[in-house]
Amino acid sequence: MNIPVFADIEAAHRIVAKYAHHTPVLTSQSINKITGGNLFFKCENFQKVGAFKFRGACNAVFSLSEEDAKKGVATHSSGNHAAALALAARMRGIAAHIVMPDNSPEIKKKAVAGYGAKITFCEPTLQARESTLAKIVAETGATEIHPYNNFFVIAGQGTAAKEMIEDFGDFDIIMAPVGGGGLLGGTAISTKYLLPECKVIAAEPAGADDAFRSFQA
């Protein structure tokens, strides 16, 4: 997979801006007092489907050629990426095939179904998710849109940091959650281009610090 550059994030933003919310950046005097700094929160919880995932899914879906789009898109996901891809596909008027573990939260299942996706449930293992998705892609010809290991998804996620920097200017540090790494990758690309001296730090829960432990190892 090619690695996006800032020009790719600019191209993604031209697409994303048409369909996604330009989310607000909020501050809290109480939190600033506790931390002794000035913190700014890019509120992607106000994004469509309630998560930044819509940015990447939107860019990936609307970057497809007409020929590929006719065959639909597919992914495996237990939550936000599933909903994001389902909504983006509905907005373009194409099919979305979503593989979800059968133990996914009910509210996530309902959200994905509500956006009109075709859901296939599988056992809650990575092997089951991947093999079920591979079968669906082979049968339908749909384009697989990986939740984070995808050029257009990474570029789309990078639009969040781009907006925040363009709206509020200079920052010393930008912290991004790290799960699969799509948001972190896009954030790093935007930040290092627009604010070369700004530090980019990945954050994750202490009780689920697999990225930290992998990095140390």
Q: Write the pLDDT tens digit of every residue in 3-61.
A: 999 999 999 999 999 999 999 999 999 999 999 999 999 999 999 999 999 999 999 99
pLDDT score recorded for residue 43: 98
pLDDT score recorded for residue 183: 98
Is pLDDT of 1 > 90? no
- Give tens-digit pLDDT for 83-96: 999 999 999 999 99
- In contact, 77 and 100? CB cutoff 8 Å: yes
Is pLDDT of 176 > 90? yes
For residue 71, name the pLDDT band (cuts at 50, 70, 90): very high
Strand partners, 174: 200
Cα angle: 70, vertex 76, 77; to 5 degrees: 120
- Terminal-to-terminal C-alpha distance of the chain: 24
CA 210 – CA 78 distance, rounded (Å): 18
The percent of residues above 70 in pLDDT, for the chain, comes to 100
For residue 129, name the pLDDT band (cuts at 50, 70, 90): very high
The one-letter amino acid at 40:
F
What pTM was estimated for this model as a whole?
Answer: 0.95
Mean pLDDT of 165-188: 95
pLDDT score recorded for residue 73: 98
- In contact, 52 and 157? CB cutoff 8 Å: yes
Is pLDDT of 191 > 90? yes
pLDDT score recorded for residue 159: 98
Mean pLDDT of 108-137: 96
Mean pLDDT of 117-141: 97
Is pLDDT of 101 > 80? yes
Is pLDDT of 169 > 90? no
